[in-house]
Each structure stands twice: as structure tokens, then as C-alpha cells.
């Protein structure tokens, strides 16, 4: 029997085993898909609701989403236990999110500002732009809005803006469960290896650092992984429902970030190439799914911003593209790096000491070298240099070497080479590939390289050691992730403690005054929801109420020094 036939038989055995598990018990894959559909349909149907000029404060989208999921459960697409577990998981993530404040600048400056604007009745599909009504509102007008709309729909039900960022937790767990199911089929390896690969794939350093924020770079990464996993699972199961899930994911990708549309195209072309060589009978069906989803994602759900930007500003990528574009990268980029070519940017960023200072020059380091307190840099959600962790430069070099061996090795399957090429193209398609948050798939490229190397039978001069090297790489990535997590959660704990102290102080001021507080906001107007409304403290905006120089509290821009109390004013 040929090795090829043997592999096919093993694949079928693994698939039958998983089918048996799914038929006799709870499917992790079904739980993951349930949660993805929940997030996706709430966002998509809320967009449709706005297109139909139905105010978003009416919970039409959430009601319809729950009805659809109930019908799918009744039709046995999901088992009752799976639906209950999925709903409980979502409620649990809502609960966790409700207690954790988003301390990030972007999260407060425009992500949460979008929810404030939606809650005031703004409709992006029909209403005119009134730029500079709020500080940083230009980004709200110009950027894709899928997850802002989801967050607003949740906010209108709960009246707690902190819960809106729960999509990151929901998609993180969903992606992990999908990875477990997919790698179980394709790796046919030891359970610990499958679990390790699934955890490392999901808990990318970018995901860790943005887990409890409104940032959507990690969200886009998780959707990219979901897109690949669902496509591969569909090949095995031949269930049309997977194509529906794939459509939801692509529509979300197109409306997460501008780069989401680009990455969706690159990953779609990669999948089509793989299907052409390995699953040709299914090629037409997946092509139609990808094309239709892209059209809906850009021209219907994405009518704002893509079409409205083109009509109003002459470029679909306004305000960061076009004749009057705003350069958001050069002022924040490392000195002497922004002007370099993409490959050099990528190399220097991933082989330098981690830092997050605007304009500073990257300092190269030896593989495995860790700077004193370097792990503390990962308290930020958008580390500029060395964003994948202090030990990732070892894995980066390994990835570059192994990619060359894999791409020029005749024993490696063509589909694996196509996947690697597709990921490389998606990385280099971004001109700012030095910034980890913009190319989180770089980390996945390293993991895919490890997986292919682990499964390979002939890798030239390392043929006798490649599995040991792969295990060492997994150990390094695990230690690396520990450093990143330590830096992030240390700062998160500190911020939560500080915020709790400030809230207690604010409540004391409120109770002492015995009336609504006059508050002056500088740039972060969203705090009226995240701080005051969330804690049931009634306020009046000093400027909007004819008191430009009078206030009880000035809300500063600093994260660590939030309130300035003007005792005795307006008693």
C-alpha cells in the first residue's frame, strides 16, 4: 500500500472517531460555531437594521439571532446541551467583561466613542458626517464598524459599555475549540501536542495583549484562523452549514478593519488554489461562497464605510488613504525604520529588544537575549517593536530557515506550500509589517511551519532531528507566551486596582454633592458611558450646559491620573 493511500485511510479513521464523539456526546466544534454565529448574526443583522432605518436601540437583531439559533437547535444542527453550554459561555464572558475596564487609548478614544455616537441615534448608512463633533470621531466615520455595531447592540440591552468588548473573549474560546477539532483530524498525533498547538495558535501574543480591550487586531486574526479551520472542516464533513458559517466569518472580516478585506482576499485565493489541486469537485461551491460573501461584505453590510467613503471622499480607505489621507504610522513608527522596505522592517522588528516608544531606534539583539524588564513592555496592547514576545526572534529565524527547506522540498505536499505562500503574501501585503498588531498571522506562520516540519519525513540535513527541534520550538513559544502574559496581566491588575480606587472616590464626591456632577471631558467622551453611566453616577457636561469654565471634575487624558476634583464649585 502506498504512503498516500495510507495517509488517506488514517484521515478517514480520525474523521470517523471524531464523528463518533460528536454523535455520542457534545461537539466542541458545534459550541464554537454557535458562538461565532451569535456574534456574527448580531453584528450583521444590526447592520441590516440600520440599513432599514430601524433605530439600533430596538433589540431586533438580538431577538432574530436568538430565534435563528433556537430553530437550528430544534432542527438538530446543534444539540440542546451544546446550545445551553454556548449561551452560558457567552453570558459568562459578558459577566467577566462587565468588571474589566478598557484602559487603552484607542479603546476609549474612538472604539467606545462609536458606541456613544450610535446610542445617540447616529446612523452611519444614512446620516451625514459631522466631523469634530467629538475628538477622534473621524475614525468612527471612516473605519469599518462590524464589532462596534455588535457592541452597541449589546450595550442597548445591558446599558453597560464594558460588556461590548466580550467579542474578543467569545472568539478566542471559539477559535481554540475549532483548532482542537481541526488539528485532531489533520495531525493524528499525541493529545498533548494537539493541545499545545491549539493553545499557541489561539493565544497569540497580540491576542493576549488585547483580550480585555476593544482593539480588533486580535479579532481579525481570530477570524482568519476561523476561516481556515472552517474551510478544512467542511472538506471533511461536506456539510453545507459550514459554508454558511464561512460566509459569516468573511463578512465580519471585511467589516473589522480595512486590512480585513485584503486578508480575506488573500486567504480566499490561497484556499481556491488548494481546492484546485486537492478538492476540485468542491472548487465551484467554495468559490461561489467566497465571492458572494465578499460582495455582501463590501457592498451591502460594508456599504458604510467602503461605498460611502468612495462617494464622499473619493477613496474607499479614507481617512488613511487617498489625496487627503492622514498618516497615522510615521508619527508612531520607530526612527529610521518606517522608510525601509517591508522585508527589512519585518526582520528588524522581530530581532530587536521590545519597546513601545514612538520615534525610538530599534536595538538588535542576539537570538534568545532578553532585556532587563523587557517583559513589562507587553502591558501595552500595541507593542511596536518585538511585539510577538522577547523570545520570538529564535522562532522567527527558525521559521525563515524552515520555510526555505519546506518550499524547495519535493516530499512536502503542495497544499502545505500553498498555505505558507498565502500567509507570507498576507504579511507582506501590509506595508507596515513591522508592527505585530498589523500582521498577527506572522505568529501563525511560525506555528504552521512547526506543524509541517513535525509531520515531514525528509527535511534534508535535519531529517533525524526535526521532531525534537519542533518540540523545543513549542517549549520556547510557551515560555515566550508566559513572559508576555506576565507583563500584560501585571499591568491589568494594577490598572483595575487604580480604577476601583478612582470609582470609589468618584462615588464619594457624587454622594457628598447630593446632585448631578458637572464634568468636563477633554478628549475621551466615551467615559461618560464607561465610567459614569456604568456606575450609576448622574452627570452634566459643563460645556454643553453653558459652564465652559465651571466643573466639579475634569476627566484627564491620562490613564493613571483620571480625575481632578474642583471641591466647592457649584454647591
pLDDT of 395-434, one tens digit each? 999 999 999 999 999 889 999 999 999 999 999 999 999 9
pLDDT at 212: 97
pLDDT at 542: 66
How far CA 42 is from CA of 59, 64, 94, 153, in Å, comes to 10, 8, 15, 7
Is the pLDDT assigned to residue 208 strictly greater than 80?
yes
Q: What is the mean pLDDT of the chain?
A: 89
Is the pLDDT assigned to residue 317 strictly greater than 60?
yes
- How many other CB atoms are found less than 10 A from the CB of residue 407? 13
pLDDT at 435: 96
| Dihedral angle of Cα 132, 133, 136, 142, to the nearest 10 degrees | -80
In this prediction, residues 341-370 reach a mean pLDDT of 93
Beta strands 517-521 and 553-555, pairing class: parallel
Q: Which of 102-106, 223-227, 490-494 has the highest mean pLDDT?
A: 223-227
In angstroms, how far is CA 342 from the centroid of its own chain? Answer: 23
Count Cα neighbours of 40 within 13 Å in the Cβ-side half-sphere.
27
Check residues 18 and 186 and name the one with the higher pLDDT. 186
Which residues lie closer than 8 Å to 160 by C-beta, 6 or more apart? 98, 534
422-444 CB burial, b ≥16 within 10 A, e <16 = bbbebbbebebbbbbbbbbbbbb
Q: What is the pTM of this model?
A: 0.93
Q: What percent of the chain has pLDDT over 90?
A: 71
In this prediction, residues 280-286 reach a mean pLDDT of 96
In angstroms, how far is CA 207 from the centroid of its own chain? Answer: 7
pLDDT at 5: 42
- Report the distance separating Cα 194 and Cα 182, nearest Å: 9
Q: What are phi and psi of 15, to 5 degrees?
A: -65, -40
pLDDT at 10: 45
In angstroms, how far is CA 472 from the centroid of its own chain? Answer: 28
pLDDT at 570: 44
Terminal alpha carbon distance of the chain: 90
Q: Worst-scoring range by mean pLDDT, 3-12, 23-32, 128-137, 391-400?
A: 3-12
Q: For residue 437, name the pLDDT band (cuts at 50, 70, 90).
A: very high
Is the pLDDT assigned to residue 391 strictly greater than 80?
yes
pLDDT of 151-160, one tens digit each? 999 999 999 9
Q: Could you tell me which residues are beta bridge partners of residue 539?
A: 517
- Report the distance separating Cα 256 and Cα 146, nearest Å: 6
pLDDT at 567: 57
Q: Could you tell me if 559 and 103 are in contact, meaning their C-beta atoms sit under 8 angstroms apart?
A: yes
pLDDT of 213-267, one tens digit each? 999 999 999 999 999 999 999 999 889 999 999 999 999 999 999 999 999 999 9
Amino acid at each position: 500500500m502506498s504512503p498516500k493511500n495510507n495517509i488517506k485511510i488514517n484521515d478517514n479513521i480520525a474523521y470517523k472517531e471524531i464523528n463518533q464523539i460528536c454523535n455520542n456526546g457534545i461537539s466542541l466544534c458545534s459550541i464554537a460555531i454557535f458562538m461565532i454565529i451569535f456574534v456574527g448574526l448580531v453584528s450583521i443583522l444590526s447592520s441590516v437594521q440600520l440599513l432599514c432605518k430601524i433605530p439600533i436601540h430596538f433589540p431586533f437583531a438580538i431577538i432574530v439571532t436568538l430565534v435563528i439559533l433556537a430553530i437550528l437547535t430544534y432542527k438538530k444542527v446543534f444539540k440542546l446541551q451544546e446550545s445551553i453550554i454556548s449561551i452560558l459561555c457567552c453570558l459568562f464572558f459578558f459577566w467577566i467583561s462587565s468588571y474589566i475596564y478598557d484602559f487603552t487609548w484607542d479603546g476609549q478614544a474612538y472604539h467606545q466613542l462609536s458606541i456613544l455616537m450610535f446610542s445617540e441615534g447616529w446612523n452611519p448608512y444614512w446620516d451625514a458626517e459631522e466631523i469634530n463633533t467629538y475628538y477622534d470621531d473621524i475614525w468612527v466615520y471612516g473605519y469599518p464598524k462590524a464589532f462596534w455595531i455588535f457592541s452597541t447592540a449589546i450595550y442597548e440591552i445591558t446599558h453597560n459599555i464594558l460588556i461590548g468588548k466580550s467579542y474578543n473573549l467569545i472568539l478566542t474560546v471559539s477559535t481554540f475549540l475549532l483548532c482542537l477539532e481541526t488539528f485532531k483530524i489533520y495531525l493524528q498525533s499525541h493529545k498533548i501536542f494537539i493541545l499545545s498547538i491549539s493553545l499557541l495558535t489561539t493565544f497569540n501574543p497580540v491576542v493576549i495583549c488585547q483580550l480585555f480591550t476593544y482593539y480588533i487586531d486580535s479579532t481579525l486574526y481570530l477570524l482568519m484562523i476561523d476561516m481556515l479551520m472552517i474551510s478544512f472542516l467542511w472538506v471533511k464533513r461536506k456539510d453545507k452549514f459550514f459554508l454558511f458559517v464561512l460566509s459569516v466569518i468573511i463578512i465580519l472580516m471585511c467589516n473589522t478593519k480595512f486590512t480585513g478585506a485584503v486578508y480575506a482576499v488573500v486567504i480566499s485565493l490561497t484556499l481556491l488554489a488548494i481546492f484546485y489541486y486537492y478538492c476540485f469537485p468542491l472548487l465551484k461551491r467554495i468559490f461561489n461562497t467566497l465571492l458572494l460573501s465578499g460582495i455582501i461584505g463590501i457592498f451591502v453590510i460594508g456599504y458604510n464605510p467602503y461605498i460611502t467613503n468612495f462617494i464622499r471622499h473619493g477613496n474607499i480607505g479614507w481617512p488613511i488613504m487617498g489625496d487627503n489621507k492622514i498618516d497615522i504610522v510615521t508619527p508612531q513608527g520607530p526612527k529610521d525604520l518606517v522608510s525601509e522596505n517591508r522585508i527589512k522592517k519585518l526582520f528588524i522588528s522581530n530581532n530587536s529588544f521590545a519597546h513601545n516608544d514612538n520615534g525610538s531606534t530599534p536595538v538588535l539583539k542576539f537570538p534568545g537575549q532578553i532585556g532587563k524588564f523587557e517583559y513589562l513592555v507587553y502591558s501595552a496592547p500595541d507593542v511596536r517593536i518585538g511585539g510577538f514576545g522577547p523570545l520570538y526572534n529564535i522562532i522567527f529565524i527558525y521559521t525563515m530557515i524552515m520555510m526555505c527547506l519546506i518550499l524547495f522540498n519535493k516530499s512536502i505536499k503542495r497544499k502545505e506550500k500553498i498555505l505558507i505562500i498565502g500567509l507570507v503574501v498576507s504579511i507582506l501585503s501590509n506595508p507596515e509589517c513591522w508592527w505585530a498588531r498589523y500582521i498577527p498571522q506572522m505568529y501563525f506562520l511560525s506555528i504552521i511551519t512547526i506543524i509541517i516540519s513535525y509531520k515531514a519525513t525528509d527535511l534534508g540535513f535535519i531529517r533525524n532531528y526535526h521532531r525534537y527541534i519542533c518540540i523545543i520550538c513549542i517549549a520556547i513559544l510557551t515560555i515566550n507566551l508566559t513572559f508576555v502574559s506576565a507583563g500584560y496581566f501585571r499591568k491589568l491588575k494594577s490598572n483595575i486596582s487604580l480604577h476601583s480606587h478612582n470609582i470609589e472616590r468618584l462615588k464619594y464626591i457624587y454622594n457628598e454633592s447630593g446632585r448631578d456632577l458637572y464634568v468636563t471631558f477633554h478628549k475621551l467622551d466615551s467615559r461618560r458611558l464607561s465610567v459614569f453611566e456604568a456606575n450609576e453616577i448622574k452627570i452634566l457636561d459643563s460645556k454643553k450646559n453653558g459652564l465652559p469654565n465651571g466643573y466639579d471634575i475634569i476627566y484627564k487624558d491620562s490613564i493613571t491620573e483620571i480625575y481632578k476634583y474642583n471641591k466647592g464649585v457649584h454647591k
